[in-house]
Amino acid sequence: MKEEIPDDLTRAWLNGQLAPAEREKMERLLDSDPSLAAGMARRRAEMAVSELLIAAETRNLFREWRAESPQPLPGVKPAVWLAGIVAGFVLMAVAVWLVCFPPGAPALPAENPSPKLQPTPPASSAPIAAAPAEKPAATPAASINYRALATRYLPDPTFSKLRRTTVDTAASPYRQAQRAFEAGDYRRTIGLLAQTDSTQQQSAAFLSAHALFRLQRFAEAEAQFARLVEGNSRQYRFASEWAVLMCRLADFANHHKEARQQLDSILNNPEHPYYEQARQLRQKMKE
């Protein structure tokens, strides 16, 4: 079967962003496959031409803007013009904000800010071991809708980023599974993905795990995402790690300890791709 190089790896190679080990592997692959090397050279030329065209177009647009920019009216100071331009941008920003975040939009259920205090139980001579010491740990699950929170913070997969092969036609089981997922038919999605080609094993597992999550089969979804993490999938490694956290968050009553530990681990690494989402999630859990 002809070797296929993913687009993200191709761009990294052309931009000189590959690690030394991956660069050597790519060079060996290109040396062994003349047609692949020719295609890569064609991509490099296309990229160079595209960059030149973009640069030339940008310069032309800038010249046209300079030539067509209105001159200030006589007697009007430049400061007045600047103030008018700033005011226009402010009004535009306010309009965009109102469209994206209309007043009265429903918010996720938040933790009760003023829970009622429980009366202190009277002293007892019963053994200390009989007291349920771990019971209070499950209290937050009753005040926050963790399932809704997890659903909000686990976006659906972007199909344009899922790997496709030359045999991936519109009638293939994999493409049918994508359409079934978009239509909300998650059971059919899982059934179709079981028929996909072995070259799409990771993409099928990733999409199938998302379908299991939407069916609220969180334990199965977590196990499937965890296998992609353990396999160190280059394309789905971090997305699957974040999805594991969302599976645990959705079943917070049974996995609150693991969920908190994983969230803390991400927050302790500012370079993590999902650091900002983790920071926002922590804030929501504290509201």
Q: What is the pLDDT of residues 139-198, one digit of tens each?
A: 444 578 999 989 999 988 876 655 555 455 667 888 899 999 999 999 999 999 998 877
Instruction: Indicate the CATH number for domain 146-286.
Output: 1.25.40.10
Q: Average pLDDT in the 86-91 region?
A: 64
222-228-229 Cα angle (round to 5):
85
Task: List, for residues 130-155, the tens digit of each pLDDT value.
Answer: 445 554 444 444 578 999 989 999 98
Largest CA distance in the chain: 93
Q: What's the gap between Cα 23 and its chain centre?
A: 27
- Say if residues 203 and 239 touch (Cβ distance below 8 Å): no
**Given the structure tokens 């530990």, which residue do they identify?**
261
CA distance 253 to 234: 32
Q: For residue 209, which of 234, 181, 233, 231 has the smallest C-alpha distance? A: 181
**End-to-end Cα distance, the chain:** 54
Integer-rounded Cα Rg, in Å, for the chain is 27
pTM over cut 0.75: no
Tell me the residue type at 157. P
- Structure-token pair, residue 205: 């597992």
- Say if residues 169 and 12 touch (Cβ distance below 8 Å): no
